[in-house]
Amino acid sequence: MRTRTITETRRVPVTIDGRTVLVEEPYTVRVPVPPRDWDRAVRTGLLAVAGIVGTAAVTWSTVSIGALLQTDVPAAAAYAAAGTFDLLWIGCMALEWLARYDPARAAAPRRAGWVALVVAMLAITAHGNMAGSLAIGLIGSSVSAGAKTLWWLTLRSFTNRLTSRTQQWVDAQRAETEGQLALIPVRRELARARGTVAAEEAALLTRPDAGPDPEEDGPDADVVPIRQTRIVVSAKDAVRDAWDAGLRDEETICRVASSAHGSPISEATVARYVRALKVGA
């Protein structure tokens, strides 16, 4: 078994002039060296080769398709547009990789990637035909096909196969988590709406009531007044509603919350509730 020497530290007591202090002391120890991971080395080399091939494919397609488009448009615009042909299937392949454990979601970028590859190959072949050499056009288009095929096989080697039961379990866990993520903006929207309602109610409560005009609306013996019951908002709920409405200044929160609560709330109470809301946020 191969081993290697490493240096570590330990704390040892040192006594000087009757006082003991723990100090760090270096020491060496030999530890076993794991065997070389050849699978990882091969995959690393494969990624390097795939990167080189992909770069060559993008370069070739950009030059070829750019020369084709340059006949009708300025060179800068032609080569800028030409560079997107291979980048389209590369981007679709990246999306397919991100959705590798969701077959339904990975199907769309997979199909789009192959369509983008066919379009790029047709454009490269058309340039070779226009230049008078269809063979060069076909060979050049095969570069992009080979690059995509190599990347497709490389990414497949990094993907773990899932059984049907495991895939269903993964789908259920993903659906539950995505449902929780979807509730975040919904809860944020509802909090803003509740805060707006609370602020509106607080503004209406602070508006002075002019009362009935004695000349126009005098007391009527046949009219029985309706007794209104006011909903009491707790101090904590009033501060939370003001916070959800987007208010951050404690003085403003104190004024709005006091109006909603119906009685003054101390600044210390408001500050305590605001600190709790900041921690929760």
Return the ∠ at Cα 41 (arms to 38 and 47), rounded to 5°.
140
pLDDT block averages, 10 residues each, the chain of length 281: 88 90 92 84 90 91 89 86 90 91 89 93 90 86 91 87 87 87 87 85 63 49 51 77 81 83 84 82 63
User: Using N-to-C axis directions, what is the helix angle for 75-98 and 134-158, rounded to 10°?
Assistant: 30
> Regarding beta strands 19-32 and 3-16, do their DSSP bridges make them parallel or antiparallel, or are they unpaired?
antiparallel
Provide CB contacts within 8 A for 81, sequence distance 6+.
Answer: 65, 66, 69, 73
pLDDT attached to residue 229? 47
Provide CB contacts within 8 A for 67, sequence distance 6+.
Answer: 78, 127, 131
pLDDT attached to residue 231? 56
CA distance 99 to 108: 10
Q: How far is CA 216 from the centre of its chain?
A: 63
pLDDT attached to residue 214? 47
Contact between 93 and 109 (Cβ < 8 Å): yes
User: Using N-to-C axis directions, what is the helix angle for 134-158 and 103-130, rounded to 10°?
Assistant: 160
pLDDT attached to residue 249? 82
pLDDT attached to residue 35? 84
SS3 212: coil
SS3 31: strand
pLDDT attached to residue 225? 55
CA distance 198 to 190: 12
Structure tokens given for 10: 């330990």
